[in-house]
Amino acid sequence: MQGLAKLLVIADDPQIRTNLNTILEFVGEHCVAIPSTDINQIDWSQTWSGCIVGALESPNLSQVLLSQLSLSNHVPLLVTSEFTGAVEPLSNFVGELELPLNYPQLSDALRHCREFLGRKGVQVPSNLRKNTLFRSLVGQSPGIQEVRHLIEQVSGSEANVLILGESGTGKEVVARNIHYHSTRRSGPFVPVNCGAIPPDLLESELFGHEKGAFTGAITSRKGRFELADGGTLFLDEIGDMPMPMQVKLLRVLQERVFERVGGSSVIKANVRIVAATHRDLESMIQQGDFREDLFYRLNVFPIEMPSLRERKEDIPLLLQELLARMEAEGGQPICFAPRSVNSLMEHDWPGNVRELANLVERMVILYPNSLVDVNHLPVKYRYSDIPEFQPEMNAFKTIEEQERDALDSIFAENFTFEEPELESHNAPQSLPPEGVNLKEMLADLEVNMISQALDAQEGIVARAADMLGMRRTTLVEKMRKYNLHR
């Protein structure tokens, strides 16, 4: 959630101050928490983004505070249900917060504070506001700071740039930042994905064509080079460009001129080239799949974008940015609990930031106005478990129903008595004349399988349940039944 710059919290109960400060910091709000005895030290001339007042012990101090707030009517006022002062007459009174606080209530209250400030024309700096220097390039890890440094160095030049990195790391974000901070910022930024265009159409897409140049060319058409005139042409996935097209691109980079397909007029190429790829171009050169001379033309200034697994410490900031973006686009606000953030930081993220963005969008759809904890995450992102209430379902089942459930769960796993693993459980290969206690034998097998799954998944119940093909709640119930521990 995009937060306000600083909130003033006034309450005499130190526990209330601590709780409010913790909750507000958790949802991205920086605040100053003080007792009522310090209200005379408040500098009301500075820009406060809001004031939350809790229970005050002294009626006199409550009156003093209300007088100060009446004079400082540019500060939006929220009070908790424990505050007894008369706040309704104040023009800056925004609303009341019921205790204990919950995320949807707090989110809505802070949104009203922002709207109040907007009506007053108050400009409040925000720590989470998009950085105008590095748009969407979020993070404080050494890798991302190095990328910012390289962007600063190369933006003022006309040098070609080659951005390297895995798919989903944000290579186009880097390219756009280079453009926005270059002398060509007033010109167009034109992206083209070289791997998404059929080889026989790529030349026409890049250089344009004249009428009648080929079947279907009923009119003349500008290519991406012409559309990017005076600006930046971003050639994404340059490693997927066919070899014949590489030759033609090299000529344009060398001579700075080109012709449309089917045309003879020479057109000047007034563009800056920024290329990107997830491939190892040097290996492709060795294999004869990429031209070495083109590589050196493009690789004047290389920038390597780190993968998300190499900068996991940026995940909390990325979550804030992605949530703020979703909210700005009309999505319902959500918040990730610290446990869920820590669990996400354990994941390897093969899809990088794109995978994280997709997960955030999914959580916004599934859990609007909610706190997303570990148990809300898809199974593959759960690297810890949290306690959940599990009703004692066996208390409502007959012995026959419990036995039937045990048999159903075992046979659903497709285990057969011919498997060698059963020999270790002394399972008979044929039914002995004296018979067997089938219930005990199946229970022993079930305990063994559950124990193996828990060991294999390092005690993470959700993953063990997935391995056994059952719901997590079913596995927890069975663990309680057999007194199994993680």
Mean pLDDT of 144-152: 93
246, pLDDT greater than 90: yes
Look at phi and psi of residue 95 and say left if phi exceeds 0, alpha if psi is from -120 to 50, else beta: left
Q: How confident is the model at residue 4 (pLDDT cuts 50, 70, 90)?
A: very low
Handedness of CA 156, 160, 166, 170 (dihedral sign): positive
Query: Is residue 299 a contact partner of residue 284, using CB atoms and an 8 Å limit?
Result: no
Scored b (16 or more CB within 10 A) or e, 117-151 reads beeeeeebebebebeeebebbbbebeebeebbebb
Residue 425: its pLDDT value, please?
A: 47
Question: For residue 119, what are its two tokens?
Answer: 């009506």
Mean pLDDT of 286-295: 96
User: Are 4-113 and 145-305 in the same CATH fold?
Assistant: yes
Q: How confident is the model at residue 295 (pLDDT cuts 50, 70, 90)?
A: very high
Q: Which fold has domain 145-305?
A: Rossmann fold (3.40.50)
Comparing CA positions, the residue from 386, 381, 388 lying closest to residue 363 is 381
C-alpha 23: how far from chain center: 21
Q: Tell me the chain's radius of gyration from C-alpha atoms.
A: 32
Residue 361: its pLDDT value, please?
A: 93
Q: How confident is the model at residue 396 (pLDDT cuts 50, 70, 90)?
A: very low
Strand duo 257-258 + 267-268: pairing:
antiparallel
Question: For residue 27, what are its two tokens?
Answer: 């949802």
Q: How many Cα atoms within 13 Å fall on the side-chain side of residue 451? A: 9
Give domain limits for the chain: 4-113, 145-305, 307-379, 437-485
Four-way CATH pick for 437-485: 1.10.10.60, 3.40.50.410, 3.40.50.720, 3.30.1490.20 = 1.10.10.60
**Class for domain 307-379, per CATH?**
mainly alpha
d(CA 404, CA 446): 14
Q: Which fold has domain 4-113?
A: Rossmann fold (3.40.50)
Predicted confidence (pLDDT) per residue in 186-242, tens digit: 999 999 999 999 988 999 999 998 888 887 778 888 999 999 999 999 999 999 999
d(CA 362, CA 378): 10
Predicted confidence (pLDDT) per residue in 315-373, tens digit: 998 998 898 888 878 878 888 988 899 999 999 999 999 999 999 999 999 988 888 88
pTM value surpassing 0.75: no
